[in-house]
Chain A
Amino acid sequence: MFLVRRLANYVVLIFLATTFAYLLAATTLDPRANYAEMRPQPSEEQVDARLDELNLNDKTPLAERYAYWVGDIATGDFGLSVRGTSVNEEMARRVGVSLRLILFGTVIGATSGILVGAYGAVKQYRFFDRASTGAAFFVLSVPAVVIAISLQVIAVWINEATGVRIFQYAGEYTTGLDAGFWGRLGNRIQHAVLPTLALAIGQFAAFSRYQRNMMLDVLGSDFVRTAMAKGLTRRRAFFKHALRTALIPTVTYFTFVFGIMLAGTTFTEKIYGWNGMGSWVIDSIVTNDVNAVAAVSCFMAICVMAASFFSDILYAWLDPRVRVS
């Protein structure tokens, strides 16, 4: 029952967020401007007709456009893009690209971050701890954009230095490559390494710092002492009792980091030329594509909600204290 209520609340929030984005975009973006540069210059009637078709005409009252849009949304249709293609189809193509990136980036970044953070806490003030803390600290001070660009620059250097194109940094795969399944897979991986790394590095830094702090909090607690008093060695008590407990707050932290990472995908996709949802954010705004903007907002809101829901579930699974009996 509460699950249903919660989901309903999510749906309402997502809908409101999307509406808000739609209304903002509809009032500030100017699709008409797209036709100003066109040669031959289309007549105003032609433009109006085209814009009406796309439900983008600024001469139609906003309320009417909105009503039409909501009607479409109710049937699961995000309308047409400025080019007249279906937003849904475009989204279907792009979602997979972004989700792959997000999934791999998160899994790699979070796992390595948690492991390194936990180990750092156990070895507090030893070399490993200092090095990993320092690295994480540095990364956190560098904007995602700069990370992505710097990785690209480094890749160029390496490619030039070795004379082999080890790293690819433009697009998802080489178009028109005919190398069979394995060749194509290899090619995709070649392309994916850098963007995934760019995303994962930020995640790694955030998680390793957080996990280290949580772990330090738990290491001094009474139950770790109890475990040692039972006869566990310090190390074993740390990993069996402390780490397991220190994972719980990290799960909540995941939701916070996730939002930041979503923004990160925008830069990464844009810089590495991937046609995912992230780069669509920029593209749709630049092309005054109101319907696409709404679709992207909706996707992002769903992602944030899903992450929060996922972390709640994980939390309940990890912490017996909150399990609903």
Chain B
Amino acid sequence: MSMSAERVASETETGQEGGTDETRIPGRWSVVLGTMLRQRRVLVGLAVLLLLVAAAWIGPLLSPWGFEERDYASFLRPPSPEHWLGTDNTGRDLYIITLVGLQKSIIIGLLVAVITTAVAAVVGAFAGYFLNLTDKVLMWVTDLALVLPSFLILAILFPAIRDSGWIVFVLLLAAFGWMITAKMVRGMTISLKEREYVYAARYMGVSPVRIIFRHIIPNMSSLLIVDATINVSSAIIAETSLSYFGFGVQAPDVSLGTLIALGSRQAVTHPWTFVFCTGLLIVLVMAVNLIGEGLRDALDPQSKSRRA
């Protein structure tokens, strides 16, 4: 009983993301965590991701070259003991700028995913729970956002945000990434709403907003976690594509996208400028996707691939 008393003390009223301390109790979360970690894919993905994070933040410290330093003695040189991954056409050390670019890509991916998923969860849950007018308005906005060619809008907005730094860029990427998840959340809310425990809460007088945060959203956490993971990779890919055309991260900042743009022009003649950043990008996205896939299998009771 003391255990429950403790939990009462630690449990917040909304309990929206109560997942963190729930692992202490040998219950659902530890079971999920167990299943999750038993998924080889999740483990491999996590390991690779951690490795990449470590490389991105620790790696630059190992190199003698600085980020803004240029070696005017060597332009477009292949990898050598001096420049581990070679140099680009302005004499920058590719090793260092690739890792710094990786940093930016990881941060952008994570941030965008968190914002997107949060927005999607709230919009979808409110639309699905209240239906009627709330739903009409929210879904109409969602449809409009879906119809707008997001790539084009981001590109148009680019001149306006050119100087505001990459955080604004992150917000914009997020602004165009939440719609499909929101629609899924809405559909799920409509079915969750018919669950008897939601009725029970309603009939004991719990307010609708609290029901959404206490019963609806936590019960979609598996969908949301999986979706957040997938959103990480799609954000990274979106960033790359925009940066490729020069509509994304701006100098002096670098991201994997800007590096790929640079490298692709000389991919045939000077492959090292293209291969390393592209390779890292693919490995990064694959690691994230692996985690997402594994999580889906672990968390989604419907998933058939859990067998064998």
Contacts and interface: CB of A to CB of B under 8 A. Distances in A.
Direct touching of A and B (C-beta under 8 Å)? yes
B175 to A, nearest CB: 13
A296 B149 CA distance: 9
Nearest to B237: A143
A296 B153 CA distance: 11
Interface string A281-298: 110010000000100110
Given A30-B159, A256-B180, A305 B147 contact: yes
A141 B282 contact: yes
Interface string B276-288: 0010011001100
A217 B278 contact: no
A125 to B, nearest CB: 6
Interface in A74-109: none
Interface string B130-166: 0000000000000110111111110111111000000
Main secondary structure of the interface of B (DSSP, over half): helix
A24 interface: yes
Contact of A141 (B153, B244, B268, B289): B289
Interface residues of A, number: 50
Contact of A143 (B241, B289, B304): B241
B233 interface: yes
Contacts, number: 119
Interface stretch (A14-22, A48-56, A58-66, A188-196): A14-22
B308 interface: yes
B282 A146 contact: yes
Given A145-B240, A153-B274, A220-B304, 15 more contacts: A17-B144, A20-B144, A28-B157, A30-B159, A137-B289, A140-B289, A141-B282, A143-B285, A145-B260, A145-B264, A256-B180, A281-B151, A282-B155, A300-B149, A301-B148
25 contacts: A14-B147, A17-B149, A20-B153, A24-B157, A28-B159, A125-B308, A137-B293, A141-B285, A141-B286, A142-B285, A143-B285, A144-B237, A145-B240, A145-B241, A146-B281, A149-B260, A149-B274, A152-B267, A216-B304, A263-B149, A281-B149, A281-B151, A293-B152, A293-B156, A304-B146
Interface of B: 143-144, 146-153, 155-160, 180, 233, 237, 240-241, 244-245, 247, 260, 264, 267-268, 274, 278, 281-282, 285-286, 289, 293, 302, 304-305, 308
